[in-house]
Structure 1
Amino acid sequence: MPADISLTTTLLLCLAALAAGWIDAVVGGGGLLLLPALLVGLPHTPAAYVLGTNKSTAVVGTAAAAWTYVRKAPIDLRTALRIGLAALGGSLGGAFFAAGIDSEVLRPLIMAVLVGVLAFVLLRPAFGTAPPPSGPVTWRRLLLALLVAGLGIGFYDGLIGPGTGAFLVVALAAILHMDLVTSSATAKVVNVCTNIGALAMFAYQGTVLWQLGALLAAFNFVGGTVGARMALKRGAGFVRGVLVVVVVSLLCKLAFDQWLA
């Protein structure tokens, strides 16, 4: 545990971890809340330790949500694991190139993609709410999902990270014709793979505050479990609403970092 962290800061970080687990479980994007909270709460801690501790927390909540979904949602676990392995490879590649990327160049590109995602969801009210077509997934669609949701978004997660869960939900729903609950469930399995890869790298580098991470992970676990159960109970319309809120929040944060910070 950092020597200079106060009890009040610790409690606030625990609440942030709880809320982030809930957001991640429903639609992804919990890092929008927890990572800034860690940066504010640990102002004298090197960024690498903040990122590593964030991953040690997120992997537990995401795994809890994935386990809840797998037991109760109509998820194709074999397909999810295939995409997850591709995403693991993509995230390793993204992490390899992360040091040489200029965030000032990438932020406008990410914002443009987010505007497209938001317009796509808002202009298609039935997106992710209609039942998926019956029958097995074609190899063409599976290959596209491996390339886009696996390698592509996995690479983005290793390179930058914010909004990965939301991107996965939209990509899986669009490519594999899943409803939003099923795509969110599948995204959790994929996200577990990318988080494990990132955490392994941070652990190897020794940049994880394990005691703080374990404490926050307990709250993240509760949030992830509750969020997954709420998504399953309330259905695709609820997930769609949270998705819109998360995408708008991410757009606002990136715009602030780009022009106002």
Structure 2
Amino acid sequence: MAWTDWGVLMTAALAAGWVDAVVGGGGLILLPAILLTMPQLTPQQALATNKLTAVNGTAAAVVTFARKVRLEWRLMVPAAVLAAVFAALGAATVSLIDRDLFIPIIMGLLVAVAVFVTLRPTVGTTLAHHRPSRARVITTVLVAGGALGYYDGLFGPGTGTFLIITFAVSLGTEFVRSAAMAKVINLGSNVGALTYFAVTGSVWWSLGLTMAACNVIGAVIGARMALAKGAGFIRIVLLVVVVVMVIRLGWQQL
């Protein structure tokens, strides 16, 4: 592989780690870069290798957020495990479903997210006036872990973004806390999908681990910026990333 190709992959891994740590969606940066520079890989091999890279970056983001954001680990760990199980199921059933059918639906959901965040500027930037009930918190976190974990293994684009919006809207948490919670569950779903891909022999370990180094750097920088700049910064990045994801998915349909 040419040095220019290595440069493209390492840069894409760095950028993907940054975006993933802040609002999710890094796969839409790294996956096309892998497919472009490594055309001999099948889409499943590219996805599997991307998951290996993402696991490391997501883990680094979790550690960075956890140092500053207090998380309820007794709830988040089971949710992450649930996400892992369902992500593995999603990865196992990916060949049975025409994923192109999902693209218009996901584009519609992303547009709805962008419109909602634009029209409701207080969502994710201020705490809810009334704390949600304990039952609502548990239900939201576990359902989000299972449902979006499965989606991450099956398809993937926007998993982190959907998690952040779910927590901000349903639980009234700020975007910084929502992002921290999303990373824990996203780590679980990445581990689950990667486990399935590893068992089926789809992972290119040397490439994935090499890109992981840059992905970790990007993830740490992104998490630190999110913590330092706060909810307003995450809101802007979220809107930008959602628009880019819609354009990217729309281009894929052409």
Which TM-score tier does this pair reach, normalised by the shorter chain? over 0.9
| Counterpart Cα distance in 2 of 1:218 and 1:244 | 27
Tell me whether 201-210 or 185-194 shows the greater mean CA deviation.
Answer: 201-210
For 1:81, the equivalent position in structure 2 comes to 77
Match of 1:172 among 167, 176, 180: 167
Unaligned regions of 5+ residues in structure 1, if any?
Answer: none
- Match of 1:211, SS state, is helix
- 1:29 aligns with 25
Deviation at 1:134, TM superposition (A): 7.1
> Is the CA contact (8 Å cut-off) linking 2:34 and 2:46 kept in structure 1?
yes
SS at match of 1:45: coil
Contact 2:79–2:142 (CA<8 Å) still a contact in 1? yes
Q: Offset at 1:7?
A: 1.2
Tell me the TM-score normalized by structure 1: 0.93
Amino-acid identity (%) = 47
Runs of 4+ in 1 over 4 A off after TM superposition: 132-137
Q: Retained in 2: the 8 A contact 1:142–1:176?
A: no
Match of 1:10 among 3, 6, 10: 6
**For the residues of structure 1 that align with 2:230 and 2:124, how far apart are their CA atoms?**
10
TM-score by length of 2: 0.95
> What RMSD in Å do the two structures reach over aligned CA positions?
1.5
Question: Structure 1 residues 33, 11: closer, same or farther in 2, change over 3 A?
Answer: same
- Find the partner of 1:234 among 229, 235, 240: 229
**Structure 2: which 5+ runs fail to align?**
none
- For residues 139 and 197 of structure 2, what CA distance do their matches in structure 1 show? 30
Per-residue CA shift, 1:53-86, capped at 9, x if unaligned? 1111010001000000011113222222232122
2-structure distance, mates of 1:169, 1:225 = 18
In 2: Cα distance, 1:23 partner to 1:82 partner: 25
Alignment of 1:1-261 (within 5 A): 5-132=1-128, 137-147=133-143, 149-258=144-253, 260=254
Alpha-carbon shift at residue 106 of structure 1 (Å): 1.5
CA distance in structure 1 between the aligned counterparts of 2:133 and 2:28, rounded to whole angstroms? 32
